[in-house]
Amino acid sequence: MRCARCGDCCKETSMELSEEDILRLIGLGFKRENICVIGEDGLARLRNIKGQCVFLSKDAKTCTVYRNRPKGCMIYPVNCDHEGEVFVDEFCRARGTISKSELRRKSRTIKKHLDIIDEEAKIRKRSPE
Ligand code: SF4
Ligand code: SF4
């Protein structure tokens, strides 16, 4: 796809994170509590500061951890609902530039990724830190 780099998807983000995502970002020197929040549902999500992702640049256009960004950010705007239906987020202005092969590839990836995240959330709920 041809991302317009508008930064819109990085504002008021609720992007879910896997432990692999979190550990990758911790490896860059960030503290867990500064980059993610854990909801009552046990899910880890990117932290927002003043209405935008903690990793969005000051000009609100670029991701400061682009090469190490969460997998969900790499897959976006392809997403998956609670019934397992894959969809392309209408919010993204570049949604029409996704090729069929990219959509197929990302569809497979998002399902596996969200399954892992759901399992990790269940574990957190069973044994909160
Ligand atoms: S990690 Fe980067 S791509 Fe993902 S929401 Fe934050 S700023 Fe955007
Ligand atoms: S993925 Fe879509 S919403 Fe996000 S920065 Fe690119 S064009 Fe904007």
3-state SS, one letter per residue, for 9-44: HHECCCCEECHHHHHHHHCCCCCHHHHEEECCCCCE
| Dist. CA 4 → ligand 1 center (Å) | 14
The structure's pTM equals 0.94
Q: What is the mean pLDDT of residues 51-68?
A: 93
pLDDT of residue 127: 80
For residue 3, which atom of ligand 2 is closest to its CA? 6
Q: What is the mean pLDDT of residues 113-127?
A: 94
Residue 1 lies in a domain: no
| Dist. CA 76 → ligand 2 center (Å) | 8
pLDDT in tens, 75-110: 999 999 988 899 999 999 999 999 999 999 999 999
110 within ligand 1 shell (Cβ under 6 A): no
Residue 4 lies in a domain: no
Residue 2 lies in a domain: no
Q: Whose CA is nearest to atom 4 of ligand 1?
A: 73
Instruction: Tell me which amino acid residue 40 is.
Output: E
Residues with CB under 6 A from ligand 2: 3-9, 76-77, 92-94
114 within ligand 1 shell (Cβ under 6 A): no
Share of the chain above pLDDT 90, in %: 89
52 three-class SS: strand
Residue 85 lies in a domain: yes
Residue 72 lies in a domain: yes
Number of folded domains in the chain? 1
Bridge partners of 49, per DSSP, are: 52
Residue 69 lies in a domain: yes
Under the banding of pLDDT at 50, 70 and 90, the label for residue 58 is confident
* 73 C-beta neighbours (distance < 10 Å), count: 20
Range of the domain at 111: 9-126
